[in-house]
Structure 1
Amino acid sequence: MTEGMLNIIKKVISMLTISVATIIPVKAETSSVSGNNNELICIDSGHQLKGNSGLEEIGPGSSKKKLKVSSGTRGVATKKYEYQLTLEVGLKLRDVLQKEGYHVFMVRETHDVDISNKERAIKTNNAGCSLYIRLHADGINNSSTQGASVLTSSPANPYTKGVQKSSDKFSHDILSEYVKATGAKNRGVVYRDDLTGTNWSKVTNTLIELGFMSNPAEDKKMSTLEYQNKMVTGIVNGIKKYLKEK
């Protein structure tokens, strides 16, 4: 075989290799969380640096009014304010949800804001959120009381007819997974029809009381990184459980 013929054969082999490469695509890596791309989760870290004693309607068209936003409670041991704790947990929850592939809408990301409970719900409605979770902590004149609960509207609530049933299910799922992850006492689902943020919401929602800041041991625990990670894990698992079963 002459050198010229050998060069021709090499060129033909090279062309065939290029052609095959162009018709056989390389398989791209797929994200294990791509199924969450359409879910927008709203996180409302309760309270703010300063309360607002102005009044607003507790529901659309209601003549009954409440404070726009109260100042919240404070840890008896840590001296941390509720608005600080709820944002700490809220930001951690945001980060984990985003890593899981969810989109997240934060009602607030700083303390120095002035957003009423009605405005928080309306912001969530306008954002087109799939779920609305409100983070709070309890305080009471009894240092031995502890545990977590969730607040949602009753079937008799005239303002929440469109989302009451789904919110009830969501509330149960969040609480069950939260106490499972944290070991907190389960104080149950509490039905409240006087919550402005709930009554103005058109989104499936719940309000979770993370624990009692008036209980020294629980107050300290809720400010530790280890326990906050458990809190977040429980809430995320509750969200997943609800979305899987809805």
Structure 2
Amino acid sequence: MKNRMKILAASVLILCAAVIGFAVLYFVRGDGKNKNGLSGTKRTASKKTTQKPTQKPEKKTYIVVIDPGHQREQDTSEEPIGPGASETKPKVSSGTSGVSSGLQEHELTLQVSKKLKKELKKRGYTVYMTRTTADVNISNAERAGYAKKMGADIFIRIHANGSESHAVRGALSMAPSKKNPYAASLAVKSQKLSRMVLDEYCKATGMKNRGVMLTDQMSGINWASMPVTILEMGFMSNPKDDMAMKEKEFQEKMAAGAAAGIDRYVQELESEEDR
């Protein structure tokens, strides 16, 4: 009897030990739940690493300074043709006038420049003008200096042409050559700007494209410190060009074409920077 009791007691002890062992193993493995339904063993919550989306850098706002050529009264006093030059030229000439329209060049350039400013602002540019009236006295060197002061990325000078022959017509642009003693470092970009502005201008207006003229004799170019172009919009000595440029609707096309050229130049500039 005593042996039977001992065996029974031993069996109970073995059974209890097995139950306790199973319970410990169950909770250690993390399969058990406490009364709150949470894991019986403490777990460290895995932290999700949320990577912030890469932000694109803000698009640069380009600054354009427009120089409406000439003014009501010319200034024949002399200024150096470029920084440190001994050669001089009149500070600002009177410009030409329309053979049929009777419009003065300084009037036409201001009319178109105002429309160009409006068009460029609409396209997102910051725009300044060297003059907004005819009654000023600003030399060509001072106009380039103003562009620098305003932090211009692009300096576009608006002019109209004249010739002894009434048959000559069309538009051209001007830029410094690579041998320019004052602005050689600007030559490549200025020539590209000049070509693109002229091409888009002629495309928009139907004006004959007379190409880019390289010159080292223009004070407003030589004193520039950023890419610069002179757009000679057409010949006021040619009746057809002259009367077309006088019309408001045509001036809108002129402004849109020049702005499209600046757009092209900026897009290519940004494309080169991304490479």
Q: Distance in 2 between matches of 1:228 and 1:71?
A: 22
Q: Distance in 2 between matches of 1:101 and 1:178?
A: 19
1:50 corresponds to: 73
1:89 counterpart = 2:115: no
Say which structure, 1 or 2, has more relative contact order (CA 8 Å, 6+ apart).
1
- Cα shift readout 1:154-177 (whole Å, capped 9, x = no counterpart): 111011122111101101111111
1:185 counterpart = 2:208: yes
1:67 corresponds to: 90
Q: Which amino acid aligns with 1:103?
A: T
Q: Distance in 2 between matches of 1:146 and 1:230?
A: 17
Contact 2:65 2:154 in 1 (8 A): yes
Q: 1:232 offset after TM fit, Å? A: 0.8
- Cα shift readout 1:196-226 (whole Å, capped 9, x = no counterpart): 0000000101001000000111101001112
Q: 1:150 offset after TM fit, Å? A: 0.3
SS for the counterpart of 1:163 is helix
Q: Distance in 2 between matches of 1:165 and 1:221?
A: 32
1:172 counterpart = 2:195: yes
1:112 counterpart = 2:135: yes
Q: Which runs of 5+ in 1 are unaligned?
A: 1-33
Q: Aligned match of 1:202 in 225, 249, 253?
A: 225
Identity, in percent, stands at: 44
1:214 counterpart = 2:266: no
Q: Distance in 2 between matches of 1:186 and 1:145?
A: 12
SS for the counterpart of 2:185 is coil
1:121 counterpart = 2:144: yes
Q: Distance in 2 between matches of 1:201 and 1:141?
A: 30
Q: Aligned match of 1:40 in 59, 63, 87?
A: 63
2:156 corresponds to: 133
Q: 1:73 offset after TM fit, Å? A: 0.1
Q: Which amino acid aligns with 1:61?
A: G
Q: Distance in 1 between matches of 2:200 and 2:241?
A: 18
1:77 counterpart = 2:96: no
Q: Which amino acid aligns with 1:71?
A: S
SS for the counterpart of 1:162 is helix
Length-normalised TM-score, structure 1: 0.85
Q: Which amino acid aligns with 1:149?
A: L
SS for the counterpart of 1:187 is strand
Q: Distance in 1 between matches of 2:62 and 2:242?
A: 32
Q: 1:229 offset after TM fit, Å? A: 1.1
Q: Aligned match of 2:174 in 151, 159, 163?
A: 151
1:15 corresponds to: none
Which structure has the larger Rg?
2
The number of equivalent residue pairs is 212
Q: Distance in 2 between matches of 1:43 and 1:199?
A: 16
Q: Which amino acid aligns with 1:172?
A: R
- Cα shift readout 1:27-63 (whole Å, capped 9, x = no counterpart): xxxxxxx84x621100000000000000000000100
Q: Which amino acid aligns with 1:177?
A: E
Q: Distance in 2 between matches of 1:68 and 1:108?
A: 15
Q: Distance in 2 between matches of 1:184 and 1:81?
A: 20
Q: 1:84 offset after TM fit, Å? A: 0.1
SS for the counterpart of 2:184 is coil
